[in-house]
Every structure is written in C-alpha cells, then in structure tokens.
Amino acid sequence: MKIILIALFSFLSFLNFMKAQEVRENNKKQSMGGGGFTIGYGNADVSAFKSFVPETMGKFKNDFLVIGGTGHAIINKFVIGGSGFAIATDPIKTDSISASLGGGIGTFDIGYLFFNKDKIKIYSVLGIGGGGLGLQIAKNKNISASKVASDPGQEININHGGFVADVSVHMNIIPAPAYDEKKESYGGFMFGLKIGYTYSLPSNDWTFSGGDITGGPNFGLSMLYAKLIIGGFGSQKTN
C-alpha cells in the first residue's frame, strides 16, 4: 500500500510539472526560492535493532529528533531542490553497555506549488535519495590501557541503509515581505511547517565496520515526521 501511494504521488507530481510549464502570469515567469533550518519530531518503528543488543536492555524509543535543512526554487508552479536531515533518539544503557541509534537522509526534490499568495506558499514535494540508520554499541565504563590491548573491539557500529523516498507538504509563511516595485520582487524572513513521510524498502542488508552481518532481521525505515522551518524566501517576476 505504501509503495502504491508513493507511485501515485510521483505520477501526480509529474502531471503537475507538465501543467506548470503551461502556466504564465501576465506573460511573465515568476521565480521564487527559499529555504532554511529544520527541526522537528519523527516516529518510526525501530524494534528490529533490538536484535543486536542483550535481552536485559530496554527497548529503543520510536520517537526521534529530526534536524537538518531544506531549500527549493520555484519557477511558476514547478518546485525543485533538496532536503537533508539527521535523526537521533535517546540511547539505552546498562551499567556496562550503551547502545544508541542515529542516522541521516538526503533527497533530491521535485514538486508542485498549489497555493500561492505573497505571504503564504503551500506545495507538495516528492524526494528521492538515500540514507540510513545506524546502531552504536559501546562500553559504558572506564577501562585500563591493558584491557584495551588484551581485548580490542570495545565498540561496534552496525548500519542499515539504501534508497529512500520521501513525500511531504510544505507551508512557508513570509509574515512581513519587503517589496521592490521596480524590480517586481519581494522577500524576507520565512518560517513554516513541513509534514511528511519517509520510506525505504525492507531488507536484511546489515553491515558493520568489519564487513557484512548475516542473519539479521528485515528492516526498512518508515517514519512520519513534522518539522518547523526557519529561514528566508524571495520572489521576482522576469520576462
């Protein structure tokens, strides 16, 4: 079902792109652009990572901090740009071991602007790219130099990643745009909201710093998120 929704969104974005090429306002092209820092909340099922830690440790939280950036250019109604963000959640610990999850995602974005006012822009975006999530397991106490030499490998980093699709809706608000009538342009501080869903196909392709991990569980990142955007935006009409 999720793959069907992604394919449908891709098709609609393509149709919107074709429509955008035909749109002209007053025989002039409206070029806009904006971007900024993003921070927010994500929720993803990461229970598969519990397979790599002792049973005595607690469960990983499904709540994530998502932090990064986004930027898009808009020509008439066609949107193009990119987004990237890091994801992290609270570690789980025992008296001797600490296990923490973290990762990142980057996408190339295309989309369609369907609401366009000077102070508010709303557009849908399909992002295609890559990313992944990793697990770091390390000792959680002091050790001697001799212990390091006699028992190397005190830490392991386990990774899972690959192709990622991301669908989202952006609402950008420019509360006090500064206008230049001669240049037919305006711009200023922007804040907004980005709500989306990130998905990658499940697989058991696990790696660590020494090679591949066999027999691991199937896992695919499936995360809903909401982010605050803080940055700037500008618009200008050209021939």
CATH class of segment(s) 2-18+31-91+102-130+163-203+217-238 = mainly beta
Q: Which whole number is the average pLDDT over 40-66? A: 90
Distance CA 70, CA 114 (A): 19
pLDDT tens figures, 149-196: 666 556 788 999 899 999 999 999 999 888 887 777 888 999 999 999
**Structure pTM?**
0.80
CB 127 within 8 A of CB 166: yes
> In this structure, what are the phi and psi dihedrals at residue 13, rounded to the nearest 5 degrees?
-65, -35
Domain positions in the chain are: 2-18+31-91+102-130+163-203+217-238
* Chain segment 106-146, per-residue pLDDT in tens: 999 999 999 999 899 999 999 999 999 999 988 777 766 66
Q: Taking the CB of residue 41, how many other CB atoms lie within 10 A of it? A: 13
Cβ atoms 17, 78 nearer than 8 A: yes
Q: Is 33 helix (H, G, I), strand (E, B) or coil?
A: strand
